[in-house]
C-alpha cells in the first residue's frame, strides 16, 4: 500500500480539524474494510488517514425510553449490532440484514457508519434503515445537521457528505404498534454475498391485524441508490394485506424499480425478484406483526 | 484378508498437526537470502500487435535488477502444442499474455517498475466465440497455423452409429454446454528459481508434476544455451492442486530467465487476482449429443460432437477429449460410439487440467441425455441405468478391461439412501447420474510409473522416499499406512518424503486419481522387499526358519514360539554394527500394466476403473428459479478404503466443488476479459452452502490395487451437474442444458414452459426483456 | 514515520516499531516471523488470514498493525499450550479430517475457536454462520463442521492424536 500517516483524534472536533488542516490529502477511516481495499487498489491515495475508531461514542445501540427513538452510533461495528438483543427483538429487519453482511471477521471490524458512507447500490445496511424512516446526523465544520437517510445517497459511492463531514449517528423513529418488518438479501450463495436484489419491508397494521396503516418498501440494487417503492406503498396503504394485495404491490414495485444488467445479474431477473420478494417479505411482516402483538 | 491394524483405519493425515500449528511451509513462506521479487506485465488487449516496448525507465528504477521482454529471451515453447512462449513477442493474443517481466529487491519496486514499462499496441480484430473462430473469415489467432482449428486427432468410431440410428426405437438429441470455471486453490501459485555458480538450477514450485517440470525446465535451460545442467525441483507444502499445477506455467519459466539475468534467486508469487486471470481454467465445451435405445431400453448408440474453446494458447485443455472418450465409450454399455472434438483458438483464456479432466463436462451431457432418453422410452430413469450398467469382467468398445465394477450396487445404494420413494413436496425432485473414471493409473505418457526408495534406520524407523505428490489429498498418509501395515510398525514410525527430485525417485505426476493405486503399489512393493531383508536377518538372529517370522508391533517374532522375538531397532543395530555390517534399504518402481491408447484410441488406459452413482434431492423455488439441494448421496466403488476418513474428505470436497460447478461457478469473460477475478464475484461455495451429503463406500477389492484400492480423488466432482440437472427436471419439468444452472436459467425455462416468452417490458426502452 | 507499538502477541508482551500503513498480516509474517497466518486474497474475502484480536476474529489483511496497540492478538502459533499440548480445536481438526492442504486451516481453526469462546455449544447452523467467511476448496466443509462440533463436546475420554503425542500422555 502507498504509505500514509495514521492520525488518532479523540473527539469529532479534533477529527474535523485534522481533515481541514490536511485538506485534499486526507481520508477518514473507521473499520477499514472498505477504505483499505480502496487504497490497495489505488482508488484512494491519501497521505493521512484519520481514524474514527477512538472517538468517544456509545458502544451499543440505545433506546430513548421517552421518545422511543433508537440511537445507533455510526462507529459501532456490525457485529455489535448483530449481537444486540434490543435489535434482534425490536428491529428484526435490521438484524436480518446485518447478520449476513460479509463475514464474522468483516463484521467484527466494519462499522455501520462506514457501510452507509461507502454507498454501494447493494446497500444491505441502508435498506433496513430507510425502511424504518431512519435519519442520520452529520457533523462537520459547520456543526451538526440531520438528513433523512433516503436522501443521503446521490449515486453509487456518492453521498451528501461534504468534504470533512462525518456521519455520526443513525436515528430510528419509534415503530407503531403491530409492526412487522423483514429484510431479504437474494444471492447466489448463502454467505459472503453482494445481493442480486435486496428487499426490506415494514408493515404497521390496524387493530384487525389485516389493514395496512403504514407501509415501507425499500429496494437495494434496484437502482443506482437505495430506493423506496413509493407507488407500491401508496397502493398498499389502507388496504387489507393478504397474498393477493401483496402480489399486486410486488408487481407495482417491480415496475418502479430501475434495474439494470451487471456482471452480478440481469435486469429482467431482478425485476422478477422484486415482485416475488416484496410479496414474500410482506407475508413475513404480516406474520411478525401478528406475533409481536401477543 | 487377515486382520489389518492400520489399513482401513481413520488415521489423521500425517502432516495435519504441522498444518494445524502453522508450521508448514508453503511457497508463500519460503525465502532465500538475496532473493529478488519478480512481477509480470500482462497484455492490455485481447488481440494486438506489439508495436514497441520501452523498458528503459523501468531498468533505471533503483532496486530493479532485471527486465525482460519477449525479444530478450530464447525460443522456449510451453504446452502440448508448443505454441506458447513465456514472454510474448510480436503480438498478444489474450489479456493473459505475458508481455514483460521485472525482478527487483522488493515487491513495491517491482510493481512500480511494471508501471514504467511503456508498451505500444496496435489493436487487431479479436474473436471470442469458437464457432465464429472456425469460420473462414475469422481473425487468425496464430497466423502461422493458417486456421484457428488445431490439428488434433480427436475422432473415433466404434461399431456403426448410422446403422444403429436406423433401428433405434427412441432417439434423443441435444446440445449441452459447460463454461469456464477455475480451481480456486487457497494457496496461490508461486515459485522461486535459483541458479548455483555452475548454473545448475533449483526451482521451488508448488507443482503436481515435479519430474515432468524438471524435464520442462531442462528444456528451458537448453534453449538458454545451458546444456548438460542439473535441475532440482523442490516442492514446499502445496496449498491446493486440483490439476492447476499439472502443466508448467509461464511464470516458472520467467522466474528462471529473470534469475539467470540477475544472478540471484527470483520469486514470483501470484496474488489472488493473478491467480484468477493468469492461471488456466477447466476446459469449456459445446457438446452435441444424440443417444438411442431399443424398445427395452438397451442403449444402441452414442454420438457426440464437441467444440472446445482452446483460448489463445494450448495447454492440457486440448487433450481433455482423450479422457472424455472414457465416459463416452464406456459409461454404461453402449455398442456403437462415435465421437469427434474440435479445439479452436480464440482470444480468450485457455484451459488446462482440472479435477476430472473433461469427465465432468462429458458426463453432464451423457447423463442428462440418458435421463431424456429414458423418459422418451417411458422407462424409469433408475431402471434405465440398471439395464445398461457396466458389469465386472467386461471389455468396453474402447478396449477398457473392466475388472471390478460395483456400478449396480452403487445405483441401488443411492436409491435407498436418497429416499427415492419418499413423498415429494411441491417443487421437489430426485435425480441420478453415474460415473466411470480411471482408478488404476492412466497411461497418458511414456510411463505411468512411480518409484519408491525405502530405508530403515537403526531405531526401527522407516523413511519412504516416493515420487508421488501430496497436495492435501492424503498420499503421504496412505503410503505410510501401507508401509506400516506391511512392516508391522506404528504409523508414527513412517516418515514419507515426497518433496525433492534430488532425493525421490521418478513419478509421472499427481493426476488421474492415480496416487493411491500407483504410488501405493510402488510403496508396497518396496516395503515387501524390505520385509524380505528384515525377515532374513531376524530369522538368523532368532535362529528360526524365515517362514515363521512375523512382523508385528515393532517386533520380529517367531510365529510358533512367541518368546522368540526381537525389537526391530535392536535387530537393525545388530545388523549395522557387526563385522560386514549393512543397512537395510530397498527400491521398487511400479509401472502399472495398462496401455497407451492407440491411433484409434483403443487400449486399456487403466488397470481398473472406479464407478459411482450420485443422487440429488432438490427443491426448486418456482418463483425465483433458485435450486436448493436437500440431500445428496455419492456412492463410489472404491475397491478398498485404505483410509475411510481421507477418502470421505475427497468425496465431500469433490461433491461441493461439483455442486459449485453445477449451480454457481463461472469465470465470466466479456470480450476476453475476466470480469470476476475475485472471491466476491466468483461464486465458490461457503460453509453456509453445504448440503447434507452421504458418501457410502463400496469395496469390491480390486485384485490389482494395493489391498484392493482404486483411485477416488476425482470421481466426487464428476456426475454432480447431471444429477442436479436431472433432479430439477424431475421436480419442475425443465431441462437446463447449460452450466452453471443459475436461477435465471431455471426461471426463464419455467416461464417458457408456461408459454411466457417475454419477461416483461422494460419501461425505459418499451421493449420486451430478453430473458435468455 | 515509524511508530512504536506494544501489544500482547500469543501471551508475550511484544514491542515493535511499525509503519502506519502496515497491515497486521504484514507485521506478523514479514516482520515478526509468524508465517502461520496466510494471505489468500488480500481483500477480506477468504478468511485465510483470520487472527483473533481481543477475542474477536478479524481479517489481518484488512487490519492496520497500528491498531493492535494495547490489544491481545492470538495467531495460530499461539493456540497450542506453551508446553506443546495442542488446543482441543487443533486436535479435533486433526482427528476428524478437517485439514487437507491446510492453507485455510490456521484461519479456519481460529474462527472456530473464537466461536466456541462465545458460544460453547453451537449447533450446525451457528457453526456454519461463524465460519462462513473462511473459504475451503479441499474439504467441502463437512469434516470441518464435524471437527468443530466434536471440539465443542466435553472430553469424556482422552482423545489420542496418533500423529503427535506430548510427554504428558504417558
Instruction: State pLDDT tens for residues C32-83.
Output: 999 999 999 999 999 999 999 999 999 999 999 999 999 999 999 999 999 9
Question: Is C123's Cβ below 8 Å from some Cβ in B?
Answer: no
pLDDT at A79: 97
For residue A258, the chain B residues in CB contact (below 8 A) are 764
pLDDT tens digits for range A44-93: 999 999 999 999 999 999 999 999 999 999 999 999 999 999 999 999 99
User: CB B668 to CB A263 under 8 A?
Assistant: yes
Q: What is the distance in angstroms between the Cα of A48 and the nearest Cα belonging to chain C?
A: 10
Instruction: Work out whether strand B155-158 and strand B336-345 pair parallel, antiparallel, or are unpaired.
Output: antiparallel
Is residue B453 within 8 Å of B585, Cβ to Cβ? Answer: yes
Residues of B in contact with A104 (CB under 8 A): none
> For residues A86-121, b (16+ Cβ closer than 10 Å) or e, as one string?
ebbebbbbbbbbbbbbbbbbbbbbbbbbbbbbbbbb
pLDDT at B619: 98
C132 contacts A190? CB cut-off 8 A: yes
B20 touches chain C (CB under 8 A): yes
The C-alpha of A104 sits at a distance from chain C's nearest C-alpha, in angstroms, of: 6
pLDDT tens digits for range A230-276: 999 999 999 999 999 999 999 999 999 999 999 899 999 999 999 99
Q: How far apart are CA B14 and CA B494, in angstroms?
A: 9
Q: Which of A35-39, A203-207, B573-577 has the lowest mean pLDDT?
A: B573-577
Beta strands in B136-243 (DSSP E): 155-158, 170-178, 190-195, 201-205, 231-234
Which triple of cell numbers denotes residue B261? Answer: 539475468
Chain C neighbors of B29, CB-CB under 8 A: 29, 35
Distance from C-alpha of C11 to C-alpha of B769, rounded to nearest angstrom: 61
Return the pLDDT at C162. 40
Q: End-to-end CA distance of chain A: give it in Å, rounded.
A: 55
Interface residue A271 vs chain B (CB under 8 A): yes
Q: What is the CA radius of gyration of chain B?
A: 28
User: Cis link prior to B740 (omega < 30° from 0)?
Assistant: yes
Contact in structure between A113 and A74 (CB atoms under 8 Å): yes
Residue B501 in contact with residue B233, Cβ under 8 Å? yes
pLDDT score of B770? 54
List C-alpha distances in Å: B321 to B151, B155, B485, B573.
13, 9, 39, 55
Is the Cβ pair A33, C44 closer than 8 Å?
Answer: yes
Mark yes or no for CB contact C58/A49 under 8 Å. no
Residue B660 CB: number of other CB atoms within 10 A? 24
Nearest CA of chain B to the CA of A270: how many Å? 9
Give yes or no for C79 touching B (CB within 8 A).
yes
DSSP B536-604: HHHHHHHTS-GGGEEEETTEEEESS-TTSEEEHHHHHHHHHTSTT---EEEEEEE--S-----TTS-S-
C107 pLDDT tier (thresholds 50, 70, 90)? very high
Rounded CA-CA distance C6/C66 in Å is: 9
Inter-chain touch A263–B764, beta carbons under 8 Å = no
* Any C CB within 8 A of A79 CB: yes
**Is B718 near chain C, with CB under 8 Å?**
no
Give the three cell numbers for residue B413.
445404494
Report how far residue B602's alpha carbon sits from residue B608's, in angstroms, rounded to the nearest whole number: 15
Contact between residue B252 and residue B206 where contact means Cβ atoms under 8 Å apart: no
pLDDT per residue over C109-158, tens digit each? 999 999 999 999 999 999 999 999 999 999 999 999 999 999 998 654 44
d(CA A241, nearest CA chain C) in Å = 32
Q: A108, C66: Cβ pair inside 8 Å?
A: no
Comparing alpha-carbon positions, the chain B residue that sits nearest to A257 is B763
Smallest Cα–Cα separation from A102: which of A70, A69, A78? A78
Q: Give the Å distances, CA to CA, from A66 to A69, B122, B175.
A: 8, 70, 67
- Does pLDDT of C170 surpass 70? no
Find out whether B205 and B214 touch, Cβ atoms under 8 Å.
no
Phi, psi at B338, each rounded to 5°: -135, 135
Cα gap B188→C134, rounded to integer Å = 16
Beta strands A135-140 and A143-148 are antiparallel
Distance from A31 to chain C by nearest Cα, in Å? 8
- Asked if the Cβ–Cβ distance from B16 to C46 is below 8 Å, we say no
Q: Give the gap in angstroms from C-alpha B609 to the nearest C-alpha of chain A.
A: 34
Q: A143, A162 in Cβ contact below 8 A?
A: no
Instruction: Quote the CA–CA distance of B140 and A246 in Å, as a whole number.
Output: 56
Helix or strand holding residue A186 (H, E): strand A179-186
Q: How far is Cα B209 from Cα B515, in angstroms, rounded to an integer? A: 12
Is the separation of the CB atoms in B612 and B410 below 8 Å? yes
d(CA B522, CA B528): 10
Backbone angles phi, psi at B569, to 5 degrees: -60, -45
Through-space distance between the first and last CA atoms of chain B, rounded to whole angstroms = 58
C-alpha span between B527 and A263 (Å, rounded): 55
CB B332 within 8 A of CB B388: yes
Tell me how close the Cα of C4 comes to any Cα of chain B, in angstroms: 23
The answer to whether residue C165 scores a pLDDT higher than 90 is no
What mean pLDDT value characterizes chain A? 96
Cα separation, B743 vs B626, in Å, equals 5
Q: What is the pLDDT of residue A292?
A: 61
Helices B320-330, B359-376: crossing angle, 10 deg rounding: 30
Say what the pLDDT of residue C42 is.
97
Burial class (CB in 10 A: 0-12, 13-18, 19+), B132: middle
**CA Rg value for chain A:** 19
Determine phi and psi for B16, rounding to 5 degrees: -60, -40
Contact at CB, B760 and A266, closer than 8 angstroms = no
For the beta carbon of residue B316, count every other beta carbon within 10 angstroms: 24
Q: Which among A37, A49, A104 has the least Cβ separation from residue C57?
A: A104
Q: Is B744 on the interface with A (CB under 8 A)?
A: yes
Contacts of C39 in chain B (CB under 8 A): 28
Chain C within 8 Å of B686 (Cβ-Cβ)?
A: yes
Nearest to C135 among B241, B472, B686 (CB): B686
- What is the per-residue pLDDT across A81-131, written as a single tens digit (0 to 9) for each? 999 999 999 999 999 999 999 999 999 999 999 999 999 988 899 999 999
The number of beta carbons lying within 10 Å of the beta carbon of residue B198 is 8
pLDDT at residue C99 is higher than 90: yes
Is A266 part of the contact surface with chain B (CB cutoff 8 Å)?
A: yes
Does A265 contact B at CB distance below 8 Å? yes
Q: Which of residues 174-193 of A touch B (CB under 8 A)?
A: 186, 188-192
**Which residue in C75, C97, C162 is closest to B492 by CB distance?**
C162
Give residue B601's Cα distance to chain centre.
21
B760, B768 Cβ separation under 8 angstroms: yes
If you count residue pairs, one on B and one on C, with CB atoms under 8 Å apart, how many are there? 184
- pLDDT recorded at residue C154: 65
Strand partners, B69: B100
User: What's the CA gap between A211 and A234, in Å, rounded?
Assistant: 13
Q: List the single residue in A with minimal CA-CA distance to B744.
A: A269
| CA torsion angle C32 C35 C41 C43 (round to 10) | -30
**pLDDT confidence of residue B738:** 97
> What are the 10-residue block averages of pLDDT along chain B, 772 residues in total?
86 97 98 98 98 98 98 95 96 98 97 98 98 97 96 96 98 98 98 97 96 97 97 97 95 98 98 98 98 98 98 97 97 98 98 97 98 98 98 95 97 95 95 97 94 96 97 96 97 96 96 96 98 95 94 95 93 91 93 94 96 98 97 97 97 98 97 97 98 96 96 97 98 97 95 78 52 53
Q: Which residues of C15-50 are buried (b: 16+ CB within 10 A; e: fewer)?
A: ebebbbbbbbbbbbbeeeebbbbbbbbbbbbbbbbb
Q: Looking at CA atoms only, how far is residue C44 from chain A in angstroms?
A: 7
φ, ψ of residue A169 to 5 degrees: the values are: -155, 150
Rounded distance between C-alpha atoms, residue A139 and residue B464, angstroms: 68
* Res. C160: pLDDT tops 90: no
Chosen from B28, B186, B189, B665 to mutate, greatest number of chain C CBs within 10 A: B186
Give the pLDDT score at A268: 93
- Listed in sequence order, the residues at least 6 apart from A270 whose beta carbon sits closer than 8 Å to its beta carbon are A196, A197, A221, A222, A257, A259, A260
* Contact with chain A for residue B770, Cβ under 8 A: yes
DSSP per residue, B69-125: EGGGS----BTTTT-B-SS--SEE-STT-EEEEEEESSHHHHHHHHHT-EEEEEE--
Q: Which residues of B touch C140 (CB under 8 A)?
A: 649, 652-657, 690, 693
Give the pLDDT confidence score for residue C169 in this predicted structure.
Answer: 34
Amino acid at each position: 500500500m502507498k504509505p500514509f500517516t495514521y492520525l488518532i483524534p479523540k473527539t469529532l472536533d479534533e477529527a474535523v480539524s485534522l481533515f481541514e488542516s490536511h485538506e485534499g490529502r486526507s481520508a477518514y477511516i473507521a473499520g477499514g474494510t472498505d477504505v483499505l481495499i480502496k487504497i490497495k487498489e489505488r482508488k484512494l491515495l491519501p497521505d493521512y488517514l484519520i481514524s474514527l475508531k477512538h472517538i468517544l461514542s456509545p458502544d451499543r445501540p440505545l433506546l430513548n425510553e421517552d421518545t422511543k427513538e433508537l440511537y445507533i452510533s455510526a462507529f459501532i461495528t456490525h457485529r455489535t449490532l448483530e449481537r444486540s438483543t434490543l435489535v434482534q427483538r425490536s428491529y428484526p429487519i435490521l438484524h436480518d440484514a446485518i447478520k449476513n453482511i460479509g463475514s464474522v471477521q468483516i463484521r467484527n471490524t466494519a462499522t455501520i457508519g462506514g457501510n452507509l458512507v461507502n454507498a454501494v447500490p447493494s446497500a444491505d445496511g441502508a435498506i433496513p434503515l430507510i425502511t424504518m424512516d431512519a435519519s442520520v446526523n452529520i457533523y462537520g465544520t459547520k456543526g451538526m445537521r440531520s438528513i433523512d437517510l433516503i436522501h443521503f445517497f446521490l449515486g453509487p459511492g456518492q453521498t451528501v457528505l461534504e468534504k470533512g463531514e462525518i456521519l455520526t449517528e443513525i436515528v430510528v423513529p419509534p415503530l407503531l404498534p403491530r409492526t412487522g418488518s423483514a429484510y431479504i438479501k437474494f444471492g447466489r450463495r448463502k454467505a459472503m454475498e453482494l445481493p442480486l436484489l435486496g428487499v426490506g419491508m415494514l408493515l404497521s397494521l390496524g387493530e384487525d391485524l389485516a389493514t395496512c396503516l403504514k407501509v415501507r418498501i425499500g429496494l437495494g440494487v434496484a437502482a443506482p441508490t437505495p430506493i423506496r417503492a413509493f407507488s407500491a406503498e401508496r397502493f398498499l396503504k389502507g388496504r387489507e394485506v393478504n397474498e393477493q394485495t401483496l402480489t399486486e404491490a410486488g408487481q407495482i414495485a417491480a415496475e418502479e424499480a430501475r434495474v439494470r444488467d451487471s456482471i452480478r445479474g440481469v435486469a429482467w431477473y431482478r425485476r422478477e425478484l422484486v415482485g416475488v420478494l416484496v410479496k414474500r417479505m410482506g407475508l413475513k411482516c404480516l406474520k411478525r406483526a401478528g406475533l409481536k402483538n401477543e | 484378508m487377515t486382520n489389518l491394524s492400520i489399513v482401513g483405519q481413520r488415521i489423521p493425515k500425517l502432516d495435519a498437526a504441522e498444518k494445524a500449528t502453522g508450521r508448514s511451509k508453503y511457497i508463500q513462506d519460503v525465502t532465500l537470502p538475496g532473493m529478488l521479487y519478480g512481477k509480470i506485465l500482462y497484455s492490455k488487449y485481447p488481440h494486438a500487435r506489439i508495436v514497441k516496448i520501452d523498458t528503459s525507465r523501468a531498468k533505471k528504477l533503483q532496486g530493479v535488477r532485471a527486465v525482460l521482454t519477449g525479444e530478450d529471451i530464447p525460443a522456449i515453447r510451453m504446452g502440448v502444442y508448443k505454441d506458447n512462449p513465456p514472454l510474448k513477442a510480436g503480438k498478444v493474443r489474450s489479456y493473459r499474455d505475458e508481455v514483460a517481466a521485472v525482478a527487483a529487491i522488493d515487491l513495491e519496486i517491482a510493481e512500480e517498475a511494471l508501471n514504467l514499462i511503456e508498451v505500444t499496441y496496435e489493436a487487431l480484430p479479436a474473436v471470442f466465440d469458437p464457432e465464429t473462430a472456425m469460420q473462414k473469415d475469422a481473425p487468425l489467432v496464430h497466423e502461422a497455423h493458417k486456421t484457428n482449428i488445431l490439428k488434433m486427432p480427436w475422432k473415433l468410431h466404434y461399431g456403426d452409429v448410422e446403422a444403429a440410428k436406423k433401428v433405434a426405437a427412441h432417439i434423443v438429441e441435444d446440445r449441452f454446454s459447460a463454461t469456464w470455471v477455475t480451481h480456486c486453490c487457497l494457496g496461490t501459485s508461486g515459485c522461486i528459481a535459483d541458479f548455483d555458480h555452475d548454473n545448475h538450477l533449483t526451482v521451488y514450485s508448488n507443482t503436481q508434476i515435479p519430474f515432468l517440470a524438471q524435464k520442462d525446465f531442462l528444456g528451458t535451460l537448453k534453449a538458454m544455451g545451458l546444456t548438460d545442467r542439473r535441475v532440482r525441483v523442490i516442492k514446499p507444502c502445496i496449498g491446493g492442486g486440483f490439476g492447476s499445477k499439472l502443466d508448467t506455467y509461464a511464470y516458472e519459466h520467467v522466474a528462471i530467465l529473470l534469475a539467470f539475468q540477475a544472478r540471484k534467486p527470483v520469486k514470483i508469487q501470484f496474488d489472488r487476482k493473478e491467480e484468477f486471470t493468469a492461471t488456466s481454467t477447466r476446459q469449456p465445451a459445446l457438446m452435441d449429443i444424440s443417444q438411442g435405445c431399443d424398445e427395452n431400453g438397451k442403449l444402441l448408440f452414442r454420438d457426440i460432437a464437441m467444440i472446445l474453446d482452446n483460448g489463445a494458447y494450448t495447454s492440457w485443455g486440448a487433450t481433455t477429449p482423450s479422457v472424455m472418450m472414457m465416459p463416452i465409450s464406456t459409461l454404461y454399455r453402449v455398442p456403437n460410439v462415435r465421437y469427434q472434438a474440435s479445439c479452436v483458438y480464440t482470444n480468450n483464456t485457455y484451459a488446462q487440467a482440472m479435477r476430472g479432466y473433461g469427465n465432468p463436462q462429458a458426463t453432464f451431457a451423457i447423463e442428462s441425455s440418458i435421463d431424456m432418453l429414458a423418459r422418451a422410452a417411458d422407462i424409469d430413469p433408475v431402471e434405465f441405468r440398471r439395464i445398461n450398467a457396466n458389469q465386472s469382467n467386461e471389455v468396453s468398445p474402447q478396449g477398457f478391461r473392466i475388472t471390478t465394477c460395483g456400478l449396480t450396487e452403487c445405483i441401488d445404494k443411492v436409491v435407498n439412501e436418497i429416499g427415492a420413494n419418499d413423498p415429494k413436496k411441491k417443487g421437489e425432485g430426485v435425480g441420478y447420474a453415474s460415473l466411470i473414471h480411471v482408478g488404476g493409473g492412466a497411461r497418458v505418457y511414456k510411463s505411468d510409473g512411480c518409484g519408491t526408495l525405502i530405508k530403515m534406520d537403526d531405531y526401527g524407523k522407516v523413511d519412504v522416499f516416493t515420487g508421488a505428490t501430496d497436495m492435501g489429498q492424503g498420499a503421504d498418509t496412505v503410503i505410510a499406512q501401507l508401509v506400516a501395515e506391511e512392516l508391522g510398525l506404528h504409523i508414527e514410525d513412517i516418515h514419507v518424503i515426497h518433496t525433492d527430485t534430488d532425493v525421490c525417485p521418478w513419478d509421472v505426476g499427481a493426476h488421474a486419481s492415480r496416487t493411491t493405486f500407483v504410488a501405493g503399489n510402488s510403496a508396497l512393493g518396496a516395503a515387501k522387499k524390505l520385509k524380505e531383508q528384515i525377515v532374513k536377518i531376524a530369522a538368523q538372529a532368532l535362529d528360526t526358519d524365515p517362514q515363521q517370522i512375523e512382523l508385528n508391533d515393532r517386533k520380529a517374532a517367531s510365529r510358533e514360539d512367541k518368546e522368540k522375538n526381537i525389537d526391530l531397532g535392536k535387530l537393525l543395530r545388530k545388523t549395522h554394527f557387526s563385522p560386514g555390517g549393512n543397512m537395510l534399504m530397498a527400491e521398487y518402481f511400479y509401472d502399472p500394466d495398462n496401455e497407451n491408447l492407440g491411433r484409434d484410441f483403443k487400449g486399456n488406459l487403466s488397470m481398473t476403473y472406479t464407478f459411482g452413482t450420485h443422487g440429488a434431492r432438490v427443491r426448486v423455488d418456482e418463483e425465483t428459479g433458485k435450486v436448493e439441494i436437500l440431500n445428496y448421496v455419492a456412492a463410489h466403488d472404491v475397491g478398498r478404503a485404505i483410509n475411510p476418513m481421507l477418502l470421505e474428505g475427497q468425496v465431500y470436497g469433490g461433491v461441493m466443488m461439483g455442486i459449485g460447478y453445477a449451480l454457481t461457478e463461472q469465470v465470466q469473460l466479456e470480450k476476453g476479459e475476466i470480469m470476476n477475478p475475485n472471491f466476491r464475484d466468483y461464486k465458490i461455495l461457503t460453509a453456509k452452502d453445504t448440503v447434507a451429503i452421504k458418501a457410502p463406500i463400496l469395496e469390491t477389492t480390486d485384485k490389482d490395487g494395493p489391498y484392493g484400492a482404486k483411485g477416488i480423488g476425482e470421481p466426487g466432482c464428476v456426475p454432480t451437474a447431471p444429477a442436479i440437472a436431472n433432479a430439477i427436471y424431475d421436480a419442475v419439468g425443465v431441462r437446463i442444458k447449460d452450466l452453471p444452472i443459475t436461477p435465471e436459467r431455471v426461471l426463464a425455462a419455467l416461464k417458457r414452459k408456461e408459454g411466457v416468452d417475454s419477461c416483461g417490458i422494460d419501461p425505459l426502452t418499451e421493449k420486451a426483456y430478453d430473458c435468455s | 514515520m515509524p511508530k512504536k507499538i506494544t501489544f500482547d502477541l500469543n501471551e508475550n508482551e511484544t514491542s515493535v516499531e511499525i509503519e502506519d500503513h502496515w497491515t497486521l498480516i504484514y507485521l506478523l509474517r514479514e516482520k515478526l516471523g509468524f508465517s502461520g497466518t496466510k494471505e489468500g486474497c488480500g481483500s477480506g474475502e477468504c478468511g485465510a488470514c483470520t487472527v483473533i484480536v481481543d477475542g474477536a476474529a478479524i481479517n489481518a489483511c484488512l487490519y492496520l498493525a497500528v491498531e493492535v496497540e494495547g490489544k491481545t492478538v492470538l495467531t495460530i502459533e499461539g493456540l497450542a499450550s506453551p508446553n506443546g499440548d495442542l488446543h482441543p480445536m487443533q486436535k479435533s481438526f486433526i482427528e476428524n479430517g478437517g485439514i487437507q492442504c491446510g492453507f485455510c486451516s490456521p484461519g479456519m481453526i481460529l474462527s472456530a475457536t473464537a466461536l466456541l469462546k462465545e458460544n460453547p455449544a453451537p449447533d450446525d447452523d451457528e457453526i456454519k454462520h461463524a465460519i462462513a467467511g473462511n473459504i475451503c476448496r479441499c474439504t467441502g466443509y463437512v469434516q470441518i463442521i464435524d471437527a468443530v462440533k466434536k471440539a465443542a463436546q466435553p472430553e469424556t475420554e482422552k482423545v489420542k492424536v496418533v500423529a503427535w503425542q506430548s510427554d504428558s500422555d504417558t
